[in-house]
Amino acid sequence: MLSKLFNKEYPEFWKKYTDSFKNPATKYVVISMETSGLDTEKDVIMSIAATSVIDNRIIIKDSFEIFIIHKRHTELDIDNEFISVSKIEKVFENNAVETLLNYLSNSILIGHRIDFDIEMLNEALSRMKLGNIRNEAFDIEAMFNKIKDTNEKKYSLEEMSKSLNVAMSNRNSVADDAYSIALLFLKMKDKLGIK
């Protein structure tokens, strides 16, 4: 019984993810998430988008967006164009987290208030009885604060984009947000001398 407890067999994707940190990161991955709220213990991730940044280029073809279903329920039999979101294919949280970790590998994470995203991912991993996210991370809001020489001020994506003259997408989805974050990161990365 004790040997089972100490010799837990981890899933292959988790072993692959943790093994990837034996090598240096070769890319940045911008992530954006939509959550059901701001309480990391009670709320859940509803959708995740990620895109890669390699050699100062946003690699659109190496992007993904995933929607998560959290409990089985029968959807109302309503055909209404305003409820089209219910027709989007969704996966269970475990599958979404596995897809994301396979995509992330040992890359450096980029996000807007990234600490919250990492906490939400860690809660999801905890429900799967796995460890925490191991990736190094940069927060674009912290980067912007450094450029503006301010301290602990909060900025929306719109405020940062306007200040830095970065064109924003329409922000209709987490994928749009990920792209906007990637554009801001590229603009600030050079200003801050990040390789």
Residue 47's contacts (CB-CB under 8 Å, 6 or more residues apart) are 33, 34, 65, 66, 67, 68, 173, 174
Provide the whole-model pTM.
0.86
Domains of the chain: 25-191 (3.30.420.10)
Share of the chain above pLDDT 70, in %: 87
Average pLDDT over residues 12-39: 95
H, E, C per residue of 67-102: EEECCCCCCCCCCCHHHHHHHCCCEEHHHHHHHHHH
pLDDT at 151: 77
Average pLDDT over residues 161-171: 86
pLDDT band at residue 150 using 50, 70 and 90 as cut-offs: confident
Q: Is pLDDT above 70 for 88? A: yes
pLDDT at 29: 98
